[in-house]
Amino acid sequence: MGIVALALASLATYRLARMVASEEGPFGIFVKMRGALDADQKTWLGRGMNCQLCIGFWLALPLAFLVAPLDWSLLLAWWGIAGAAALLAKWEQKR
């Protein structure tokens, strides 16, 4: 597990979570997806699909499998990638 792979996984998680949670996407695909799951945000899934931090947490898991071995460090990689993506999201909100 290299530092470059962790950094790239964190940036990818941040970008993907931002796209899914708050952007329109090509042909409005992310808007349609959010609307199809729960347009009124009355369920946890509907609220989660509009939360960049929530989406980032779950998107970090498959990326952690790509950068970490299948042992205890996988959990640390998952949380670390999600945490770095959350820091980027919070930093962006303050700007």
Q: What is the spatial distance between Cα 20 and Cα 18, in angstroms, rounded to a whole number? A: 6
Q: What is the pLDDT of residues 17-36, one digit of tens each?
A: 999 988 888 898 888 888 78
Contact 2, 80 (CB under 8 A): no
Which of 11, 95, 85 shows the shortest CA–CA distance to 54?
A: 85
Q: pTM of the predicted model, to two decimals?
A: 0.85
The list of the chain residues with pLDDT below 50 reads none
The per-residue pLDDT for 78 is: 96
The kind and range of the H/E element at 43 are none
Q: Domain boundaries in the chain?
A: 3-23+52-94
The per-residue pLDDT for 1 is: 67
The per-residue pLDDT for 47 is: 80
